[in-house]
Structure 1
Amino acid sequence: MADLELRHLEYLVAVAETGSITRAARRLMLTQPALSRALRALERTVGVPLLVRGSRATELTPAGSELLKDAYDLLDRSRVALARARGTETVTVTAPACDVVAVAAAGRDFEARHPGVAVNVVPRDWLSTEALRAGAADVAILRDSFDRRGLAVEPIMDEPRMVLLGAGHPLGARERLTVADLRDETFTYWSGMSGAEAAHWTGSDVDGRPRRQSVRIGSVTDVLAAVALGRAVVYAHGSTLPELLPGMQVRPVEDLSASRLEVGTSARDAGPAARRFVEHILRWTAWRA
């Protein structure tokens, strides 16, 4: 049997989390053909199909789902082994792509205060607590609705949300909007969203009325493209929004629920370095700058 390559496991994780070979290739900074070849090589090594390749999405087979569970553990163990060999301790932190810059800055500050500890920040396009539960991450930066089972979670702050509109959207003529003004708009949705997540991200958690969700997305880039092309509107928290978004308008929404930023660890297996990093994040005033 051919040897199992760790990079192939990283590719499997990327496909599982993005739901698409195209989006996974973008995250991994590979060409799509190169990623497809590597995934076929992984399937040959395992000896069974791992992926169901569809025209719009790629899903894991039952065998692929089983391998994914071990992939998180194997990748984490390899990082820990390298850190030990280098004489350093590693804290792996997952974070939504919109929060990576702030988390990376907090990580650098933590490293300066704790010599011998390295912070490894892993971006996620969507909320993912599976890496935390599987032991592939020590800490997760989390937002809004997510599955809290088996996690110890601390709140960092609440942040107002706004709406992103296309440049030509008629509601852009108003300075302020309400959830009712946007009730009939089309919203984006992520594969695998729970009902609570969908309600939060479309505003139906405010009035209990379901919204249209007809634009499926798999990355932050997809979100911005859907808005810029006038196919959907999106609620977003302020720290995701640069001062200038070409082709888009940003408007306050008066009665929209806030975005809650939180930090989580495993309720059972958080190590001392992970707990110190959580304490650092909770004290780190740059979040509110």
Structure 2
Amino acid sequence: MSTIVVDVGKSGLRLRIRPGTAGLDSARTATVAGLDPARAALPGAGTELAAAVAAAWTSLSADACADAVETVVIGSTFIPQPWALADCEDRFRELWPSAEIVIVTDGALAHAAALGRVGTVASIGTGTVVLGLDAGGTLRQKDGWGPDLGDRGSALDLGRSGFQEACAALDGVACDTALVSLAERALGTPIDIPAAARLLAAPDRVPRLAAFATEICQAALDGDGTARALVRTAARWVADTCAAMAAEVGDTTVVTVGRLAGTPGYRQPLTEELSARGLVVQQPAASVLDVDSTLLAGPEYRRTAVFRAVTATRR
């Protein structure tokens, strides 16, 4: 099957053309800037999503194989309102005249790729979303509330907490920590009120906060007590959410995916916290860009699709 898979996150958008599409003998992957979910409810969000996907496609100079594409699967943390999703259709039809195009949440895509059966998948990157499939075929979700209401234990959550602890240390209300110098290096300037204002106003604020999580994890490995406590707290949040999901779906299997989940300094505390709750941690079956797209045609995942377009040539 000639397939394209797109993973739309807060920090980046990745598009992969599978081998075999239009005679390609190897996969081709493009990465462009991600999309802020906070903008997904605004007018023009559908156009914004389509433009980002089109930018990744165009960067591969792959127009010559567009007619050969049969299936496009887009898993997105950026989900426009239903009325705005229609704005995507015309642009997608221009890109892939003969393809069926499906948009699902990033969590549904992660679950299908990593497990594809009963159990729980925690996707821990810039944000956090936990999906669980029960024996009756119902796909459930916990967290995924976004940075203001949730994303517990995520890179954004951890990175923000690290900056907060650095500021608290400067105020003399928290222990001295290596996070102060690491935060100043991340900001490129000493920590002061103007620096905080610049970060708040920065268009790349979310990926910058999330990127700082990696520094915190390394500081934890290096023995910084504050960093270790922050990482452990983040891991506990995710483990508690997974335990609640496992209880609902009636299965203790858990798979963790996402950039932060695999980061040294985070992976071990997370595994320890999951195991302490009686959960059985398994390795992911595949990455999201290598998902078996036929799984998404099954009833468990098909009903989660927020948008499905079948082009005129395939109706």
- In the superposition, the TM-score normalised over structure 1's length comes to 0.30
- In the superposition, the TM-score normalised over structure 2's length comes to 0.28
Greater strand proportion: 1
